[in-house]
Structure 1
């Protein structure tokens, strides 16, 4: 017979939504149990956001040294090309994952959250069995927070296995593939494809739509496209992947020609889907919205005291959205009046160069009822001083014409991700162009481009 644990709150999933929800529940004095079948931290920390950014960082250093071995860079030259011990790179990446994983565990312990390692299987909306190393454990809760996250989408003609891999396997390859074909030109495919191109892979990208990063406007994406072309990345846009062949991946080009692109690894990054199978969702009687769990603006499901957050409830499928929802739900359970109604959620592509989008883009607004200010990095002193001005980077601000209220900010350029909080904050607090124009921005910094973009929208930029 299974041991029985009764608790106020049961959180299922230890990713950035689940562990934040559990920690906040603990801080609020709620008796909380967190069930996680893998490592604490979830996809983002263990096999997604964090390890991929570590790999991108290492790849950039390697590429810079390789260039310095070919020709002097800033007066710096190397007498021989750098050597890459990719196993050591992966091992370094894992030290970061281990440190953060341990940190999450310590934070949960400090918040007095009980962590149960195992896979939850629900028999009804408030009861699950977890097969732990010590035997089955039955957990009954007053409130359940579902935070099971998402998994990579698998194509029926390109099943994962062997050289056909998802982003998870790409981050732990034993060596850099000499030839890498990436199926899907969204942010995951381009981030990893760019990193492996820096590490020396011959990269081919196959995308069914007619451009890379199809969710973003062409001007924003253009610097990334140009970087890929300069690095010799082979782009097949408007093309279809047909299936694996002995020598690589068979594709059909936009012109109808069938080709086979040679590949040592085929990375499939055509999206992610909510993890709704294998843990008894069907036993919980919650309403669905397509493949997602339906929730209201408090993240409440159709079943009383069952809550769902993060990737499980729909787009945007971003870690920081999940964390914000998890914190909110914890406070609602504790009796606070909260709802999830952000004005904007920032999204970042860690491509080369990076892209940030917050709020509405130029295709989302009426051109006759809006003003747009764009300031190029080519006119920014900090960008010039770190050789980040020549790749076409810029900051663009979109505001309502009558009120000057900022409704969107987009930017592309090196290290531009670090300005995402400033962009989101401006929209969240309802800032107008004059607010940003009136703030003294430190010089020399990339943030001055935000200031100048606001001035440009007002018609009096200083440095262009």
Structure 2
């Protein structure tokens, strides 16, 4: 027998966009239902941001411990190398994911959001059915928020198999591969490849561009490429993957690719990790029955995340770049507030981007080159972490890292802050706040920063842009 449910707001997908929209809708007193076929948390929490950062942390800890073997380091001597237990590492990572997912479900319950486990299939814009373990549920809603997220792109000539894996599978390997071949040196590939290198695997990148992480310029990525070279990580630039042969259990796979001259090569790896981007989840939900317009592969929305169909909204990865969890969350919160009657639109000055490489990369706002294309004259200054006491005291000042600030020449308004270095991800929110609030160089230079902290580099970079850095 079909169970009938009616609600004010139906949200499809409990990722960082969907669950935030649901919680905010619940706070605002809206009768809300959220449908999710997996655990609450979505790609970011379950098979992306959080588990990857847990793996990166464990890999860094493993590398740090082993740095104290031999003659020791910092006066600390570890008598023998640390041993890696991959199954226990994965279990620990999974425990973090489970804890956070349970926390999200508890928050949904606290805010009186009805949770239905299953996959929604729409017959029209406001009606869908969900096959659940208890039977079919038919849902009729006044408003629908589509938050179905994205999935790793699978190349037709490199189908996933036992030894050809996606980033999701890379987070669940119970055995460390001797040789990991990574197709794509973007942020996902680099984060995974660097983590596996720290754990002891040989890593090779096959990259189609002539540089790593094209989101960041070469001045920023130079410390990362230096780390890769120092750790014997090979990168084949301007290369194109052609085909793969999976040899089965324990035998790895052989990848065929062409180099920048078009010459064909073969490389064998225990695992071939494919990280060539993500695609929006638009199939299997009946979107074709909802009369929403598309913008290429994405659902087309306006500045309030409205689709072409009245009272149908779309947020997060489903609506296009940047495909970032914090963008989805901001859109989800906004849509819930608009439905409740508040006046909102999605028009952020900046959306910060972070890459958890070694060292970390942060980009907030635009660069001088991008400003020039817009006809804007700029002032640019930077300050190295090598001149920051806290960085040196925590072994974070010798990796080539720095903070770089770009400001308008005419009025000194800051339009971009970029950084590379250990732990710079933790500075990204300060960068975003400064630009979002229209800070000028003088504001950053004259704000007293705590000593000793890594954040002093922001103040010094602003001073440098003005021509009077103190410690350089």
What TM-score do you get using the length of structure 1 for normalisation?
A: 0.99
| Paired position in structure 1 for 2:167 | 167
| Paired position in structure 2 for 1:418 | 426
Q: 1:368: how far off?
A: 7.2
Contact 2:9 2:145 in 1 (8 A): yes
Cα distance in structure 1, aligned partners of 2:381 and 2:68? 37
Corresponding residue SS for 2:76: coil
Q: CA offsets per residue over residues 406-431 of structure 1, 9 Å max, x none?
A: 00000000000000000000000011
| Paired position in structure 2 for 1:233 | 233
| Paired position in structure 2 for 1:385 | 393
Corresponding residue SS for 2:334: helix
| Paired position in structure 2 for 1:277 | 283
CA RMSD of superposed structures (Å): 1.0
| Paired position in structure 2 for 1:157 | 157
| Paired position in structure 1 for 2:250 | none
Contact 1:240 1:253 in 2 (8 A): yes
Cα distance in structure 1, aligned partners of 2:283 and 2:367? 35
Q: 1:243: how far off?
A: 1.4
Q: CA offsets per residue over residues 246-267 of structure 1, 9 Å max, x none?
A: 5521121123332221201010
Cα distance in structure 2, aligned partners of 1:138 and 1:127? 7
Contact 1:126 1:142 in 2 (8 A): yes
2:444 pairs with 1:460: no
Q: CA offsets per residue over residues 106-158 of structure 1, 9 Å max, x none?
A: 00000000000000000000000000111000000000000000000111110
2:307 pairs with 1:295: no
Cα distance in structure 2, aligned partners of 1:361 and 1:248? 40
2:320 pairs with 1:314: yes
Contact 1:217 1:363 in 2 (8 A): no
Corresponding residue SS for 1:456: helix
| Paired position in structure 2 for 1:139 | 139
Q: 1:170: how far off?
A: 0.4
Corresponding residue SS for 2:223: helix
Match of 2:344 among 316, 328, 338: 338
Which piece of structure 1 moves more, 251-260 or 195-204? Answer: 251-260
Q: 1:70: how far off?
A: 3.6
Cα distance in structure 2, aligned partners of 1:231 and 1:251? 23
Cα distance in structure 1, aligned partners of 2:215 and 2:435? 20
Corresponding residue SS for 2:67: helix
Cα distance in structure 1, aligned partners of 2:262 and 2:26? 58
| Paired position in structure 1 for 2:36 | 36
Corresponding residue SS for 1:38: coil
Cα distance in structure 2, aligned partners of 1:163 and 1:75? 42
| Paired position in structure 1 for 2:120 | 120
Which piece of structure 1 moves more, 311-320 or 235-244? Answer: 235-244
Cα distance in structure 1, aligned partners of 2:190 and 2:198? 12
Q: 1:178 to 1:15 in 2, by over 3 A?
A: same
Contact 1:355 1:412 in 2 (8 A): yes
| Paired position in structure 2 for 1:188 | 188
Q: How do residues 51-70 of structure 1 correspond to structure 2 at under 5 angstroms? A: 51-70=51-70
Segments of 5+ residues of structure 2 without an aligned counterpart are: 248-252
Corresponding residue SS for 1:197: helix
| Paired position in structure 2 for 1:258 | 264
Match of 2:403 among 385, 395, 409: 395
| Paired position in structure 2 for 1:304 | 310
Contact 1:14 1:35 in 2 (8 A): yes
